[in-house]
Amino acid sequence: VFTPAAMKLSGSADLAQLWTRFFSEEAGIVRGEGPRPFVVDLKKNGACWRAAGHVDLSGSGFGWGGVSVILPPEDRVLYFKVAVREGVVDFQSLRWSQGESWAEAKGVYDTRQRQVGRIEVRARDFILDHGIKIRGEDLRHVRGTVSGKLRVDAPQGDVPRSVTGRITAREISLVKGERPVSWKVDLLDARLTGRKISLPVVEVRLGDVPLRIRGTLEGWNGFQGDLKIEGEGLDLSMFSPPGGEPEGEKPGPLLRFLKRSQVGIRAEVKKGRWKGLSFDSLEAGGRFQAGALFIEDLQAQAPHWRLRASGRLGNDSTAEKMISCHVRMEEQPLEDLSLIHI
């Protein structure tokens, strides 16, 4: 009944409509404006179809749960090799390359069970230059480079069974318009085994202030674990828990993930400020839980005062915020106190 056949096609296709036709339950994941050019070699042998070629994804986008990723308007060609047999799509290679920079993904998708199988991702100095829009916010860009190799085992629902591999990211920054925001990841080294993420080193920069983060996280349905943060010259007013969802909207996947997380935090800071008040050292212990930051024991000191505090910072403008403080002062100049703003 089935005889070998081959053909070569070239033209343009609306990727969003094409995706929706084959994967109607995941409509909206692939987004684009108008047809994109492609070239593909098709081969059929028995019940198996094979396709190899390339498609220009420049200006296209991908979205999920209110988060959209928009590719740059040029130089974003995807090279692919795909096999389809009895409802199972084997993505043998999906590869982006730009000079010595490249990224490649492989995976299996069962269209009958609507189930993702294994997924493998590799990258070497892959250049990030992508637009991001979160629930209608202004367009931002994330920039930097990523290298590494990951294997994701078949998920249970939306949660992977396990993730194994290592990721190294450098010079990651988020840019809004023409001005960069206040944070940048100089170096991220993450090692993943099953459900565990080891962070031997994460170097973050808030403005001109360096931070060093170490620790271990576990779980793909909300993080559990502990982090240690060390820094010098910080203005603690820069820190606040993530905001809530807009009124009337269901929580997005990121906020749901954060609400399921519980992470212990230990911080040591030298030479910082808070609400206009300078201090020489600060040590704090607490936890991030259910989208809020709980301060269990904070101690700060300066030449003329010592402070102890505990409390809770909510995760949106309506959540309860309560901080209890005890301050002891000795010969504190009044002119310094006039600089405090609450």
What is the secondary structure of 94-131 as a DSSP string?
EEEEETTEEEEEEEEEETTTTEEEEEEEEEEEEEEEEE
Question: Rounded CA gap, 53 and 95, in Å?
Answer: 11
Centroid of chain to Cα 310:
30
**pLDDT tens digit at each of 342 positions of the chain:** 455 688 898 988 887 777 777 666 665 566 666 788 889 999 998 889 999 999 888 767 666 555 667 776 666 788 999 999 988 999 999 998 877 888 999 999 888 877 788 889 999 998 887 666 655 555 567 888 999 999 988 766 667 788 999 999 999 887 665 555 567 899 999 999 999 999 999 999 887 889 999 999 999 888 999 999 999 988 776 665 555 555 555 556 667 788 889 999 999 999 888 777 788 999 999 999 988 889 999 999 988 888 898 988 765 544 456 788 888 888 777 766 655 555
48-56 and 36-45 beta bridge pairing:
antiparallel
- Could you tell me which of 119, 114, 146, 116 has the C-alpha nearest to residue 130? 146
Question: Rounded CA gap, 123 and 104, in Å?
Answer: 6
Helix, strand, coil abundance in the chain, percent, nearest 5 = 5, 65, 30
Instruction: Report the predicted TM-score, pTM, of the whole model to 2 decimal places.
Output: 0.77
- Could you tell me which of 203, 223, 224 has the C-alpha nearest to residue 214? 203
- Could you tell me which of 62, 73, 54 has the C-alpha nearest to residue 16? 62
Looking at this protein, which amino acid is placed at residue 197? I
